[in-house]
Amino acid sequence: MIKAVFFDIDGTLVGFSTHRIPESAKEAIGQLKAKGIKVFIATGRHWKVINNLDGLEFDGYVTLNGTCCYAGKDRLVYKKAIPAEDVRRLAVIEAGAGAFPCIVVRESDMFINCLNAETDEVFRLLNFPVPPVRDFREALEAEVFQLIGFFREAQEQEVMAQLPGCEATRWNPLFTDIVPRGGSKRVGMEKLLGYFGISRAECMAFGDGGNDIPMLEYAGIGVAMGNAGEEVKATADYVAPPVDEDGIARTLRHFGLVD
């Protein structure tokens, strides 16, 4: 029996064209909650820039791809920072000719070292607030839980080779999320399920991006959205219609979780 459902945000709960949760998904989530089924967010976003849930409240939040996890809005259940030595190595890269735009995400804030046409495109796509621009060296002053590097896949191997304590999880050709090695939405799910006393077999997860793959593989039922890439669909137990075609509600109805 399903007791918990995890939802990615961008491309899963929220369409890229509307930046809104479909009304059908809102109604379905309401039905889940009414039945006592826990509902969770699992996102790469920092909690400060989760700005597109239309006031819906969830039982917990896996943020920053699993590196900061909360029960309710503010009870920190788990966190894992990027090794300080890796942040120092990246500061050297950012001070040289190989510099690229990078968002530094800390527990309570975030900033970016510079902007360009590609960062502007991504912020428009995601309806994402533009972080303040600061010197990258400020990343050395406090724990960092995620880095968002604006470089393409061809450059990824070169950059990541210099960050041995990290791994990259990409869901867009223009940037990649950099998290501590061993960090993922799967880890965040595991921590929240443990906190609430729910087994992995009793949970369902919805996602559409490469960073959702570990979550979909771990869940009792992993659901890829119809707008997901083929690699994501291949790891899922079920492929839903796209987000903007009522994919969430139709899939929950298919599994008998809502009316």
Residue 219, amino acid = A
CB-CB contact of 230 with 250 (8 Å): no
- Give CA–CA dist 56/21, Å, rounded: 10
Token readout for 37 is 């089924």
What are residue 69's DSSP bridge partners?
A: 62, 78
Q: Which residues are catalytic?
A: 8
Residue with tokens 């007791």: 3
Give the Cα separation of 253 and 3 in Å (integer).
15
* Backbone torsions φ then ψ of 246, nearest 5 degrees: 60, 35
